[in-house]
Structure 1
Amino acid sequence: MSSHDRDLGWMLENMLTKAPGGRHALVLSKDGLKVCYTPGLSVDAADQLSAIAAGIQSLALSASGEFGEGLGAGQSMVEFRGGVLLIVPAGEGAHLAVVTTEDAEVGLVAHFMNELVDQIGDHLTAPPRRPQAAPQPPDGARPPSGTS
């Protein structure tokens, strides 16, 4: 884990201590890869939560395009037995997701999430991945042919 990820992890933990009822937090790329997360999540649970949050935000983006005033997903919330999942955009290509207990004050948790994004949103970016170019043969070298 890089020092950048440790710093973000510490900030996520700090946000959870301020937000009553916050259980887990993670930053994810819009394509569902975890960037950093709080220690209460195992690696597998963080992967699963990242995929779930990315899927929810993707659906929210589709709904926005179809029924909203332009393309742009805002905050998403899913309530389930035992808690709530909140997701907010967090910098270029990234989202912040928080899982709460069922008795959490969702408005207050969302406030602290947005406050964190406002403070450090520039550091919560997940630029798009670019495919690597295929290796090229050295100058003058001929690629092997399939025939003799």
Structure 2
Amino acid sequence: MTQRQANMDWMLKDLAAGVPQTRHVVLLSADGLRMAQYGTDTDVADRIAAACAGLQSLAAAVGSELPHSQGQMRMVVIEMDGGFFYLMAAGAGAYLAVLADEGVDAGLMGQRMRDLVLRIGEHLSSPPRQEDGTSR
């Protein structure tokens, strides 16, 4: 775990602790790489991050059909049997994903996610990769 990941993990813990029924919290880059996680193991966090990259791309494509839209996804909420999935834009090139049990207060989760992004959004970003694969 890098120092940057360790510094971000506590932020995600704060979100999970503040909203009962939270199961997994993952911070990911736009290309689906896990940047930080809380409440889940690395394999699950990696699968969530990869799936979210496709979902945010799909949401942006659908959003581009709206008049006056640039196709920028802000938030996706999916209610399914057993719980909720949230995906929110969280800074330049970064997204915040949360899986929660069905007993979660859906409004509180959305509010706490927005609060987290607003409070520390500059830390929740993924710089673009250079051609050699490194971040700037």
TM-score normalised by structure 2 residue count: 0.91
CA deviations over 1:12-69 (Å, ceiling 9, x no partner): 011111012211101000110000001x312111111001111111111001112353
Show structure 2 runs of 5+ residues with no match: none
Aligned length: 132
What is the root-mean-square deviation of aligned Cα atoms in Å?
A: 1.4
Correspondence for 2:94:
94
Bigger radius of gyration: 1
1:129 maps to amino acid? R
Query: Identical aligned pairs, as a percentage?
Result: 36
Correspondence for 2:9:
9
Correspondence for 1:42:
41
- List structure 1 runs of 4+ shifted beyond 4 angstroms: none
State whether structure 2 residue 20 is matched by structure 1 residue 26: no
Correspondence for 1:65:
64
**In structure 2, distance between residues paired with 1:60 and 1:106:** 20
**In structure 1, distance between residues paired with 2:78 and 2:29:** 19
Given the superposition, is the C-alpha separation of residues 54 and 68 from structure 1 closer, same or farther in structure 2, using an over 3 Å criterion? Answer: farther
1:48 maps to amino acid? R
CA contact (8 A) 1:20 1:109 kept: no
Distance apart, 1:79 and its partner CA:
1.7
What SS class does the counterpart of residue 66 from structure 1 fall into? coil
